[in-house]
Amino acid sequence: MFRIKRVYDPPSPEDGVRILVDRLWPRGLSKENASLQEWMRDIAPSDELRKWFSHKPEKWEEFKLRYFKELDGKKELLSKLRALGKKGTVTLLYSTKSPENNAVALLEYLKR
């Protein structure tokens, strides 16, 4: 089972395995206070795609299409995530305040 949550929100027992899926480390958050088991920065969108998107809602649908194409080439990381999801809850962590973000897109990709 997969969930998403902002990395700045307090951890809870329901989170299971907490994995940061952003390319950049969250501002103002120390690694000690992040309460996560792993940082999968390579599953995040490329720097080029991240900068192009810039969390603009009007680019959301195109962003997802481009990100899904990138994800198609990351089979090993996706297999690892899916294997963890079969064992229990996995919470995909992101830092942005935007409701349109890579964790939401990644969750959609994993569910298809």
Beta strands in 21-80 (DSSP E): 38-39
Q: Tell me whether residue 4 is exposed, middle or buried, using C-beta atoms within 10 angstroms of its C-beta: 0 to 12, 13 to 18, 19 or more.
A: middle
Where in the chain are the domains? 2-111
Residue 37 is predicted with a pLDDT of 95
Residue 32 is predicted with a pLDDT of 82
Mean pLDDT by 10 residues, the chain (112 residues): 95 96 94 91 97 96 98 97 96 95 97 90
Which residues does residue 92 pair with via DSSP β-bridges, in sequence order? Answer: 4, 19
State the pTM of this model. 0.94
Q: Phi/psi at 19 (nearest 5 deg)?
A: -125, 120
User: In 42-56, which positions are buried (b, 16+ CB within 10 angstroms) versus exposed (e)?
Assistant: ebbbeeebbeebeee
Q: How far apart are CA 25 and CA 21, in angstroms?
A: 10
Q: At 24, list the tokens.
A: 């950049």
